[in-house]
Structures are given as structure tokens and as C-alpha cells.
Amino acid sequence: MSRDLLPGATGVLALADGTILQGIGVGAVGEAVGEVCFNTAMTGYQEILTDPSYMAQIVAFTFPHVGNVGTNVEDIEQMSGAAETAARGAIFRDIPTRPANWRADTDLDTWMSRRGVVGLAGVDTRALTRKIRETGMPHGVIAHSPTGLFDLDALVERARAWNGLVGLDLAKEATCLQPFTYEEGLWSWGDGYAKPPTDPKYDVVVIDYGVKRNILRALSSVGARITVVPADTSAESILARNPDGVLLSNGPGDPAATGAYAVPEIRKIVDSGTPVFGICLGHQMLSLALGAQTVKMDQGHHGANHPVKDLTTGKVEIVSMNHGFTVDRETLPEPVVETHVSLFDGTNAGIALKDRPVFSVQHHPEASPGPTDSLYLFERFAQNMDAAKA
């Protein structure tokens, strides 16, 4: 395709509808295809770009100034460390700034390049955000070439040919390969990440669909000894460990696709009477296991400033969210009750069983780097485990 690019343009975003955005390429040189979403968080870009829930997505940051705190080796959220199990690309209003933070060990541009994350800067992210809000999250290809030479026709065709997230099981790529014990607590100023409890109160099995490190840290902070197991682990193997509770983690992809093998095992765990706590993808698959349905969202929820109401307490909390599928509340059966609701669009944000110690939420209560309004949910899980022991 012969289109004139602006002088000095070294990066483009080609959308399936033929739209071309151009700017300055940053990060890795190359191409990446994915679903384009926007994130409204003002902080935490390293955590966002390493969140496995963003696998097969290209993240456009609505906050214009990104990069000032740099990056470090401590704040990577994904367990695998492989760049392909997190965000595929990033879009910025301004070119990422140089770091000015005592914890930084490298700048964002270099870090993205090392990880293979393709970036694009200097575009009108407000216009892109409005487009997504009006027409939904498009399929796109982000490309970076220092020469400024692009086959735009081929990029658009690649975006059109991509099948998208519906029906895509990505948890199998993001999960661990074998069980392991996780030993690290929450970060605190001056001390860094805490050591695991020396006398743990609970043994918890975490089913890894793409778990974030800070979920594990928050779980450790309530006194849990943590064993992480792969996504396809059988209920029999999990229950043989005699856990006090089971956590269903966050993760990427279509919950119905991952649920093809995960949902039957979740049902068995629920039927055993073991306390269960689900987060994000874990919430969606728990809902499927209990008889509800999930649907694809047009824009999804991506940010750290989402208001959610806890219907059990009447309190409103500001939470971190990252999901493109949602639980259809109209399909929630008895004895499931809705416990949380998004105050942005009224979608479901949490459920619980009336007769068993089982609950889940759509948002990320560990919220690294914040907000921390929902950390109480880990205490609620601990209370359920205490009650089950008694």
C-alpha cells in the first residue's frame, strides 16, 4: 500500500478496518498482532505490561506521560518471565521519559526492547480511546521499523486475519509447567518484599491460569503457605494435598475456552466443601462452574480507577480491573448471589455461594501498585478457611 508517512515516522498501528496510526517506534523492532485496548491507570505501567491477563493484547495508555519511574527486576508480575505471556505491544501519547526513581535499574524503552515488546509513541491516544469506546476493541498490528518502511497493506490484512480472543485458551500458555512453592510477601517501604510466614496458618493451592506475583504475595500476607499448580491439574490431585483453601487465579483469554478442561475440576473442588476464592478469569470460570454464562465485552475494563460496590457491606471501593469478558448476571442461578457490581456500567463484579465458603471477584484485589481498597478480600478468604477448620 502506498501511503505517505510523516517524516521521521518509525512506528505504525494498523487496524483491521484499515485505519493507520503513525508515530515513533519504541521498544522492540518488529511486529505484533493483538486486540487493542486502553488502560486508564496513571501508574504501574511495568506491572500492566507484565500482567498475563494482557496476553494477546496491545495496551494504549491514556495517561500521556509514561516512563518516569523506569523499570526494575522486582516489579514484574508474570511468573514465567516470557514476554509472549503478557502484553504484546504498548501505545503512548509521548515518547517514554527517562527514569527518575531510586528503584529503577533501566529505562522503559530499553526494557521493552529486551523483552520483545513493540511500542508506538507520539499518537493521539485520546482519539484512539474514543474510537475503542464507540466501536469496540479492534484487532490491530503494531509495528516498529527504524527505516520507516512498512507494508501497510500486509499489516492491515494480518490484523483482519487474526481470529481474536473469543474461543482462545491462553491460560495453557501462561500457566506454570509443574507445581512449586511461592515464598514472598507484600512490599513495604524500606524493607522491600516480605519473607513468607515462618509459622503459616493455612495451606493454600493456587491454580495458575496466569497468576500475578502480587496475588501470591497478598495471599502470603494473611499467613498462607502457597503451592502453585498448573491450570490443567485435576481436582483429585489438588484435594490430595488437603488444602485449607483453593485460589483460582487471574489469567488471559476466553473463560469458556479454558473452562472446557478447568470448569469440571472447579465443580469438584466446590463440591468438596473446600473454601474457594476466584479472581478475574478465576471468577469467570467459577461462575461457569456454578451454571452462569460469560460474554465478550465491547471495551472491557482496564485501569486502576474503577469504582465497585461491595453489596455485602454497602461500601464503594476503587479497584484495579483488566478483563474483556464478563459474567452475565441474568444467568446467575440459585444459590449464587451477586456480591459486587461495577459502578461504571453495572456489570457483575463478584459472586458468592449462599451455602458454601465460595466467592470470587472480577477485579484484582492485590492491585499492584494500587489501589489497595480490596485487600480485605484476602482476609475474607482467610476467615472462610478459619470457619471451615472449625
Domain final residue pick, 143, 161, 179: 161
Q: Report the candidate in 144, 130, 138 with the shortest Cα–Cα distance to residue 159.
A: 138
**334 labelled catalytic:** no
pLDDT at 28 over 50: yes
Q: Catalytic residue, from 47, 77, 317, 366: name it.
A: 366
Instruction: Please state the φ and ψ torsions of residue 358, each to the nearest 5 degrees.
Output: -130, 125
The CB-based long-range contact list for 149-156 (8 Å cut-off, 24+ gap) reads: 150/5, 150/12, 151/1, 152/1, 152/3, 152/12, 152/14, 152/20, 153/1, 155/12, 155/14, 155/31, 156/1, 156/14, 156/15, 156/16, 156/18, 156/20
CATH number of the structural domain spanning residue 75: 3.50.30.20
| pLDDT at position 81 | 63
Amino acid at residue number 99? P
Q: 118 and 48, same structural domain?
A: yes
pLDDT at 266 > cutoff 80: yes
Residue with cell 472447579: 266
Q: Is 5 domain-assigned?
A: no
Helix ranges (DSSP H) in 116-184: 125-135, 152-161, 171-174
Which pLDDT belongs to residue 190? 80
Q: Which three cell numbers stand for residue 156?
A: 492491515
| Mean pLDDT taken over the chain | 95
Residue 2 counted as domain residue: no
- 186 shares a domain with 275: yes
Whether residue 262 is found in the same domain as residue 150: no
pLDDT score at 351: 98
| Residues 156 and 181 both lie in one domain | no
The total number of structural domains in the chain stands at: 2
Answer whether the bond into residue 52 is a cis peptide, omega within 30°: no
d(CA 338, CA 175): 28
Residue type, 257: A
Predicted confidence at residue 188, as pLDDT, reads 84
Q: Which residues of 43-57 are buried (b: 16+ CB within 10 A; e: fewer)?
A: ebbbbbbbbbbbbbb
Distance between CA atoms of residues 301 and 25, nearest Å:
26
Looking at the domain assignment, is residue 36 inside a domain?
yes
In a domain, 208, yes or no: yes
Could you read off the pLDDT of 326-385 as tens digits, one per residue?
A: 999 999 999 999 999 999 999 999 999 999 999 999 999 998 888 999 999 999 999 999
- Whole-angstrom distance, CA of residue 365 vs CA of residue 110: 30
Q: What is the pLDDT of residues 62-104, one digit of tens each?
A: 999 999 999 999 999 998 766 778 999 999 999 999 999 999 9
| Domain-terminating residue out of 161, 186, 210 | 161
* Residue 134 belongs to some domain of the structure: yes
Same domain, 181 and 93: no
Give the model's pLDDT for residue 4.
67
Catalytic residue among 47, 184, 280, 306: 280
Catalytic: 338?
no
65 is catalytic: no
Specify the pLDDT at position 3.
62
CATH number of the domain that 225 lies in? 3.40.50.880
Residues 215 and 336 in one domain: yes
The pTM (predicted TM-score) of the whole model is 0.96
Query: Do both 106 and 255 map to the same domain?
Result: no
Flag whether 50 is in a domain.
Answer: yes
Q: Mean pLDDT over residues 277-297, rounded?
A: 98
**In a shared domain, residues 224 and 292:** yes
| Strands 294-310 and 276-279, sheet pairing | unpaired
**Domain interval for residue 344:** 171-389
Report the distance separating Cα 89 and Cα 123, nearest Å: 14
Query: 245-248 and 202-208: which strand pairing?
Result: parallel
Among 74, 78, 123, 70, smallest CA distance to 97 is for 70
Asked if residue 77 and residue 179 are part of one domain, the reply reads: no
Specify whether 233 is located in the same domain as 131: no
* The domain boundary residue, chosen from 161, 185, 214: 161
Task: Answer yes or no: is 4 within a domain.
Answer: no
Whole-number pLDDT of residue 43: 93
**Do 131 and 186 belong to one domain?**
no
* 166 is a domain residue: no
- pLDDT tops 60 at residue 1: no
Same domain, 113 and 235: no
| CA 189 vs CA 42, 193, 319: distances in Å | 20, 9, 22
